[in-house]
A = this chain, B = another copy of it.
């Protein structure tokens, strides 16, 4: 047994050269996206008006197991990757648990999260296609920041529609995007037809992610040389994010470490899908077994209380339909502070895996999440993002079960990002003003009733 360092880093030549496409190993493939007009499986030409061509190919390919990471992207990855796999020695000691806890820390880059892994890939393919720029939406702002950084690197124009309430409440996030040369517009805006329509119907609205998506899509479709990009949910995003899991597995393999449990927070699924990819692959191929746990907020419990059904990916119902665990595209989650987990649906790939019993899911209330966040920060030093702290909560819970049973389980969780721009949430927590929202059965039933009949 080798000595395990506090942080396991891969060297540059040990970094992944390919992304892993989990779908290739799935017996039950995720159901295809449907064209919202025809309700037929959407085709590459249909998608190519919205997304870059190579990304469309990645989106629709469920048989090719590996996609080579282009050298330009690997060079960018080298600026902030490999991310460390950290042995949480101090947390283990503090908990008094025999469990061995590791976390893959994705927060050591200016976007503050794993989102950059896909942003740089999407920007690269846009550049390669000769596009002028890309459009997107952002809520909490991590995705927008990541995309701004990526576009700045490839000298692409970047147009971000930021949900108005976040634009006003998070001026610093907006400012980081400006550092990277992005134009940031509060949504709804007068720049798009859909924005104008919403503003005339709901003057004074503070916006929503669904509306921002609609504006970004409209802008992309109506502007010469632009495409729309998205930071989660899509298969292409999970493909790019597989770099997280591949690095994690390579680092563990270097020290002959076999995890028992792999834990990640789940919003749209980009981090979780990336982290678990190679582990789930082994499980699907019958080579190894792991417990894999998705953690979601009790206020937005897509897996644990949602329906597995076709639904729209956006509130405006202009995007394709996906078969996924969903709370209904009209469902407005209560104001949980983990903005990155407030999505009504879930990646189709993860949805299928969960449906097939290949992974577990738990939901946790936000005060318990912030308790775990603070406990973690105090012993491990890192100030975690609220989203990431969902995984911390369950990692600690599992480690405490080991303390009771005496089992020396190996737990790996994804620490997706830092919380520097979430101090309002921490302040509420400290001041005892944080509330735990849980949707009622009646609320969910009402939302489910509006699911499209497919």
Chain A residues close to B by CB (< 8 Å): 5-7, 9, 11-12, 75, 78-80, 86, 89-90, 108-110, 112, 149, 152-153, 171-172, 175-176, 178-181, 374, 377-383, 418, 420-421, 423-424, 426-427, 430
Nearest-Cβ distance from residue A345 to partner chain B, whole angstroms: 31
Residue of B nearest to A373 (CB): B179
Q: Contacts A149-B381, A423-B171 given: A110-B79 contact, CB under 8 Å?
A: no
Which B residues touch A178, using CB under 8 A?
426-427, 430
A170 to B380, CA, bound (A): 24
Q: Is the CB of A426 within 8 A of B374?
A: no
Residue of B nearest to A383 (CB): B110
Q: Is the CB of A181 within 8 A of B423?
A: no
Q: Is the CB of A427 within 8 A of B175?
A: yes
- Tell me which of B172, B175, B383, B427 contacts A430 (CB under 8 A): B175
Residue of B nearest to A384 (CB): B110
The dominant DSSP class at the A interface is: helix
A420 to B78, CA, bound (A): 22
Report the copy number of this chain in the oligomer: 2
Which B residues touch A7, using CB under 8 A?
78-79
Nearest-Cβ distance from residue A139 to partner chain B, whole angstroms: 18
Q: Is the CB of A78 within 8 A of B109?
A: no
Q: Is the CB of B153 within 8 A of A378?
A: yes
- Tell me which of B175, B379, B418 contacts A423 (CB under 8 A): B175
Nearest-Cβ distance from residue A90 to partner chain B, whole angstroms: 7
Residue of B nearest to A10 (CB): B9
Q: Is the CB of B176 within 8 A of A383?
A: yes
Q: Is the CB of B423 within 8 A of A381?
A: no
Nearest-Cβ distance from residue A424 to partner chain B, whole angstroms: 8
A152 to B376, CA, bound (A): 11
Q: Is the CB of B12 within 8 A of A78?
A: no
Nearest-Cβ distance from residue A255 to partner chain B, whole angstroms: 13
